[in-house]
């Protein structure tokens, strides 16, 4: 047995006094920290991952200062605690302060983020606390300060909280870059290596998450997991009248009466919905159905004013609310102890998201997390059965790290340039130590430096794009105006322009999209934050409203992201259909769906997981072709376009396209030339990339992606805070840049990135290829139902339509030939 250290004794003694018995994995984490390792701690929520690492830091501190660890003195910044949410910082800070106070350790905790008061930030400038809780953005703001290395002179460790949340995004890249600089600083100054720890929920690629955190060349990284399992129960709420349950739809308000008993039986319930408008509708409908809930029911989503949201969070904490209807805005965060049940309305689209939400209830070790699943249409019950099995088998999604994000790199270099300037060879080395930029070539690096100094081939004539000056290997930003503008723009979250909504009498309610309000006339009523509001006028980019007594109001919809069904869930879903008609199935969801399955089998077929079902149906609308890969709407959208293109090469034919997460439809006014003989060829993965480029309008998708890239890279100034430029301006200037680069600087890396992102994120190219390969191994079943089937109905209902005509295609092909010859 290894001799325990002094710090170890102090901490275990303190815990024993409080009658707290640490988990084995917590002790493992302390030990690993103390021994100078870096790594990731992985355990279910509510098991004290955070606590264990913080205690590890304290043990290390006591060990280093055994005699005077309690002496009041200023020690400088020792520990950086990175969190993705400002809201987490406050709670965490409070908890840490408590421990420090009780142990009498000479440490102070500070918070650094946009919502810390100016005075606190000014004080930090003079004297940093020993522990600083910070967001990735604020960390980069620290790097943008003059003489920033001073700040980190005593830094020993960085802990990244909720690393699974950051890893798949450009915010994660910001963390990678900041870590590379901090490691570089410590090495330059000959100090012991930086300890880096991540705290993560379970994801499919935890090993990769470790590599991203520590860089691909790390050697001392370890993953500390617990074998303790969280007990999670998923219970589907089966519609009382299955026969009348809709085949399509997404709101699920039909199930509302069956949600009420759950709410009544629990102390506090969180009701998760998929969209903001859906949460508004549920809130209103619940109050209508059960007026007794007035005052005990609240609403929480991303477009509701921060102050109102904070009020709801506090009220939840204090246990005065019976239920809260919310979106993903309450996925993470504050430890809502009083929550004892969770209702998920509609598909969560992925296993990880379901686990995350279930974990909001029973948030202590040993407690059971219970989540009720409320289907919004019949087939969603199959998803519920699939989710249950996926949870049992722990099939959890991976979060793919972002690679070669040139925009974030440009921003980072500008950050370093406006502080002390940077030594290019040194920074190049550091940057290449990160996972994101490990394959950055010297050529690309040169392009990036020259882009920052000259504006590149296309923008060389405009002075405002000559941002940096070069002296030997050093690069600086001398312009104070550019430096100030840059500090205002640090970060990778690019939001759409939203208008604030405010009562005439004062008081903010939330935000709303420009496009929505432009369709309203003064006097019209709409709903926001659960209130009925009458639109009065727009003044200074603010929508002024008064209370409305109107019976009918419009619920605004927002142009949000569209999360596709995850690959894991899709796979599980296909598997579930194997059991659909089997007498052996025990899943209550599948049993309830028997009548629907029988109808589907009678009219058409239920595909097994090694089959691809295609339905050909003729109606007065035309000739329909329905295909069911169950791979999420993004893959379906591209597959539909690809198939339409390939069919149109057999004979000129025009299609309209519709899709959902289960499948897609091609509709034409002439018979579709797809047969048992040519089906496999039509779904082949051969020539995928070339045919994708002709069938899908990749340029348009890339153009949309380019907008965010241009903002992050600092090419578009979004205006000063408070005086937001209208979205139109943003859109047009980014579109202009896109054109200019396409015409005069086709080698532009940002342009290349836009296309990469379009293929990777908007078309899920990798998943598409895998799907086509799977289809090649499957048998294709073509049926000819006499009328619409339960499977195709939801797609038919989907209003989103793309049209593509072979005429247009011919034009494109002609152009292509002209360019080539």
Partner DNA sequence: GACCTGCTGCGGTGTG
Task: Confirm or reject binding of residue 799 to DNA (CB under 7 A).
Answer: yes
Residue whose CB is less far from DNA, 141 or 293: 141
Query: Which of 495, 651, 670, 675 contacts DNA by CB under 7 A?
Result: 495
**Tokens (6 digits) for 251:** 């709101």
List the one residue out of 50, 47, 69 whose CA is nearest residue 58: 69
**CB-based contact 497:730 (threshold 8 Å):** yes
Task: Confirm or reject binding of residue 301 to DNA (CB under 7 A).
Answer: yes
Query: Which of 64, 101, 484, 766 contacts DNA by CB under 7 A?
Result: 484
- Residue 474 Cβ vs DNA, minimum distance, rounded to whole Å: 20
Residue whose CB is less far from DNA, 115 or 207: 115
Near DNA by CB under 7 A, which window of 60-68, 455-463, 486-494, 537-545? 486-494
Task: Confirm or reject binding of residue 493 to DNA (CB under 7 A).
Answer: yes
Task: Confirm or reject binding of residue 559 to DNA (CB under 7 A).
Answer: yes
Rounded-to-integer distance, Cα 424 and Cα 407, Å? 17
Query: Which of 49, 164, 230, 250 contacts DNA by CB under 7 A?
Result: 250
Task: Confirm or reject binding of residue 327 to DNA (CB under 7 A).
Answer: yes
Residue whose CB is less far from DNA, 302 or 365: 302
For the beta sheet containing 221-225, the strands, ordered from the edge strand earlier in sequence to the opposite edge, are 109-112, 131-134, 79-82, 157-160, 195-200, 38-42, 221-225
Task: Confirm or reject binding of residue 399 to DNA (CB under 7 A).
Answer: no
How far the first Cα of the chain sits from its last, in Å, is 77
Rounded-to-integer distance, Cα 619 and Cα 785, Å? 11
Rounded-to-integer distance, Cα 560 and Cα 109, Å? 37
Residue whose CB is less far from DNA, 125 or 439: 125
Tokens 């005429």 -> residue: 807
Query: Which of 328, 452, 509, 627 contacts DNA by CB under 7 A?
Result: 328
Residue whose CB is less far from DNA, 619 or 675: 619
Rounded-to-integer distance, Cα 792 and Cα 248, Å? 10
Near DNA by CB under 7 A, which window of 85-93, 98-106, 470-478, 607-615? 85-93
Other C-beta atoms lying within 10 Å of the C-beta of residue 339: 24
DSSP sequence for 513-531: EHHHHHTPPTT-EEEETTE
Task: Confirm or reject binding of residue 249 to DNA (CB under 7 A).
Answer: yes
- Residue 721 Cβ vs DNA, minimum distance, rounded to whole Å: 2
- Residue 87 Cβ vs DNA, minimum distance, rounded to whole Å: 6
Residues numbered 586-605 forming contacts with DNA, rule: CB under 7 A: none
Rounded-to-integer distance, Cα 69 and Cα 105, Å? 6
Query: Which of 52, 169, 344, 734 contacts DNA by CB under 7 A?
Result: 169
Task: Confirm or reject binding of residue 486 to DNA (CB under 7 A).
Answer: no
- Residue 118 Cβ vs DNA, minimum distance, rounded to whole Å: 8
The beta-carbon contacts of 358-363 under 8 Å, at least 24 apart in sequence, are 358/232, 358/234, 359/44, 359/45, 359/46, 359/230, 359/232, 360/270, 360/330, 360/331, 360/336, 361/270, 362/46, 362/231, 363/45, 363/46, 363/335, 363/336, 363/337, 363/339
Rounded-to-integer distance, Cα 512 and Cα 535, Å? 12
Task: Confirm or reject binding of residue 562 to DNA (CB under 7 A).
Answer: yes
Query: Which of 65, 423, 470, 489 contacts DNA by CB under 7 A?
Result: 489
Query: Which of 44, 79, 86, 396 contacts DNA by CB under 7 A?
Result: 86
Angle between helices 424-432 and 406-418 (to 10 degrees): 140
Near DNA by CB under 7 A, which window of 312-320, 397-405, 453-461, 787-795? 787-795
Task: Confirm or reject binding of residue 171 to DNA (CB under 7 A).
Answer: yes
**CB-based contact 496:558 (threshold 8 Å):** no
Q: Give Cα separations from 328 to 348, 364, 464 (angstroms).
A: 10, 21, 39
Residue whose CB is less far from DNA, 141 or 404: 141
Question: Which chain residues interact with DNA by CB under 7 A?
Answer: 84-87, 113-115, 122, 125, 135, 137-138, 141, 169, 171, 244, 246-251, 274-278, 281, 301-303, 327-329, 331, 349, 480, 484, 487-491, 493, 495, 555, 557-563, 633, 660-661, 718, 720-724, 788, 790, 793, 797-800
């Amino acid at each position: 047995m290894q001799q325990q250290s002094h710090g170890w004794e102090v901490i275990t003694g303190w815990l024993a006094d409080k009658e707290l018995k640490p988990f084995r994995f917590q002790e493992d984490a302390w030990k690993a920290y103390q021994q100078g390792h870096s790594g990731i701690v992985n355990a279910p929520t509510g098991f004290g991952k955070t606590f264990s690492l913080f205690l590890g830091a304290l043990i290390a501190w006591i060990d280093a200062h055994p005699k005077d660890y309690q002496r009041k003195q200023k020690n400088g910044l020792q520990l950086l605690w990175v969190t993705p949410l400002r809201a987490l910082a406050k709670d965490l800070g409070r908890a840490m302060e408590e421990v420090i106070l009780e142990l009498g350790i000479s440490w102070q905790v500070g918070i650094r983020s946009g919502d810390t008061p100016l005075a606190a930030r000014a004080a930090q400038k003079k004297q940093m606390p020993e522990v600083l809780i910070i967001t990735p953005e604020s960390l980069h703001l620290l790097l943008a300060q003059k003489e920033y290395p001073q700040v980190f002179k005593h830094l020993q460790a960085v802990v990244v909280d909720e690393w699974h949340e950051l890893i798949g995004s450009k915010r994660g890249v910001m963390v990678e870059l900041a870590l590379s600089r901090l490691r570089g600083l410590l090495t330059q100054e000959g100090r012991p290596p930086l300890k880096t720890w991540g705290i993560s929920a379970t994801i499919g690629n935890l090993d990769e998450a470790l590599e991203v955190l520590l860089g691909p060349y790390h050697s001392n990284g370890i993953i500390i997991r617990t074998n303790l399992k969280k007990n999670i129960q998923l219970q589907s709420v089966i519609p009382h009248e299955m026969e009348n349950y809709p085949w399509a739809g997404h709101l699920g308000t039909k199930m509302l009466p069956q949600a009420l008993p759950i709410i009544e039986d629990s102390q506090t319930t969180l009701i998760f919905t998929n969209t903001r408008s859906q949460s508004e509708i549920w809130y209103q409908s619940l109050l209508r159905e059960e007026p007794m809930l007035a005052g005990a029911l609240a609403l929480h989503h991303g477009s509701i004013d921060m102050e109102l949201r904070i009020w709801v969070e506090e009220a939840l904490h204090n246990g005065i609310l019976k239920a809260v209807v919310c979106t993903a805005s309450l996925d993470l965060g504050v430890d809502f102890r009083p929550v004892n049940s969770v209702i998920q309305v509609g598909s969560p689209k992925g296993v990880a998201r379901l686990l995350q939400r279930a974990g909001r209830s029973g948030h202590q070790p040993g407690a059971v997390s219970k989540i009720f699943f409320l289907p919004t249409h019949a087939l969603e019950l199959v998803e519920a059965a699939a989710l249950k099995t996926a949870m049992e088998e722990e099939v959890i999604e991976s979060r793919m790290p972002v690679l070669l994000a040139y925009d974030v790199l440009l921003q980072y270099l500008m950050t370093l340039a406006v502080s002390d300037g940077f030594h290019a060879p040194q920074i190049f080395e550091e940057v290449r130590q990160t996972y994101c930029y490990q394959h950055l070539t010297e050529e690309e690096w040169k392009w990036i430096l020259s882009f920052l100094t000259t504006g590149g081939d296309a923008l060389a004539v405009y002075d405002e794009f000559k941002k940096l000056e070069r002296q030997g290997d050093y690069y600086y930003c001398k312009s104070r105006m550019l430096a100030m503008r840059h500090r205002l723009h640090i970060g990778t979250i690019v939001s759409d322009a939203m208008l604030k909504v405010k009562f005439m009498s004062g008081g903010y309610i939330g935000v709303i999209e420009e496009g929505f309000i432009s369709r309203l006339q003064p006097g019209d009523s709409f709903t926001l934050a659960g209130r009925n509001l009458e639109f009065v006028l727009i003044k200074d980019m603010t929508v002024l409203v008064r209370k409305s007594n109107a019976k009918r109001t419009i619920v605004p919809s927002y142009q949000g992201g569209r999360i596709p069904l995850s690959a894991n869930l899709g796979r599980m879903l296909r598997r579930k259909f194997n059991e659909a008609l089997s007498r052996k199935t025990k899943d209550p969801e599948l049993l309830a769906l028997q009548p629907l399955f029988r109808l589907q089998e009678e009219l058409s077929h239920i595909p097994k997981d090694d089959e691809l079902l295609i339905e050909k149906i003729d109606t007065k609308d035309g000739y329909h072709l329905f295909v069911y890969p169950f791979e999420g709407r993004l893959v379906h959208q591209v597959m539909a376009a690809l198939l339409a293109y390939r069919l149109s090469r057999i004979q000129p034919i025009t299609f309209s396209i519709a899709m959902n997460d289960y499948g897609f439809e091609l509709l034409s006014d002439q018979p579709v030339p797809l047969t048992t003989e040519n089906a496999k060829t039509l779904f082949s993965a051969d020539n995928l990339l070339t045919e994708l480029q002709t069938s899908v309008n990749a340029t348009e998708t890339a153009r949309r992606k380019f907008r965010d890239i241009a903002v992050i890279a600092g090419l578009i100034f979004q205006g000063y805070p408070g005086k937001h430029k209208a979205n139109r301006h943003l859109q047009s200037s980014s579109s202009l840049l896109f054109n200019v680069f396409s015409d005069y600087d086709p080698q532009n890396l940002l342009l290349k990135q836009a296309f990469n992102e379009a293929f990777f994120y908007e078309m899920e190219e990798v998943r598409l290829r895998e799907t086509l390969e799977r289809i090649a191994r499957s048998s294709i079943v073509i049926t000819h139902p006499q009328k619409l089937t339960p499977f195709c109905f939801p797609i038919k209902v989907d209003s989103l339509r793309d049209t593509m005509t072979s005429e247009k295609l011919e034009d494109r092909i002609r152009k292509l030939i002209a360019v080539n010859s």
